[in-house]
Amino acid sequence: MPVITIQTHEIDKATRKDLIDRISVVAAETIRVPEGYFTVFVDEYADDCIGCGGKTREELKTGG
């Protein structure tokens, strides 16, 4: 059973559902395993828990 883990900033429920659906379809087509075999985990992180270039995502969004 293939497992896919996605790590991202916080996203709304509808976007999360769409992401899981689309990732499952593409992965199934790509490695030729039935879509129903995939387990998808979405790990979401608050903006103050993601950093890039020494700044948090929160700081980057506000221009800080």
Q: What is the pLDDT of residues 37-51, one digit of tens each?
A: 999 999 999 999 999
pLDDT averages per 10-residue partition of the chain, 64 residues:
96 98 97 96 96 93 83
Could you tell me if 44 and 11 are in contact, meaning their C-beta atoms sit under 8 angstroms apart? yes
Name the pTM for this structure: 0.83
Can you tell me the distance from the alpha carbon of 41 to that of 1, in angstroms, rounded to the nearest whole number?
Answer: 13
What is the DSSP secondary-structure string of 44-61? EE-GGG-EETTEEHHHHH
CATH number of 3-62: 3.30.429.10
The secondary element (H helix, E strand) that includes residue 20 is: helix 13-31
Round the CA-based radius of gyration of the chain to a whole number and report it: 15
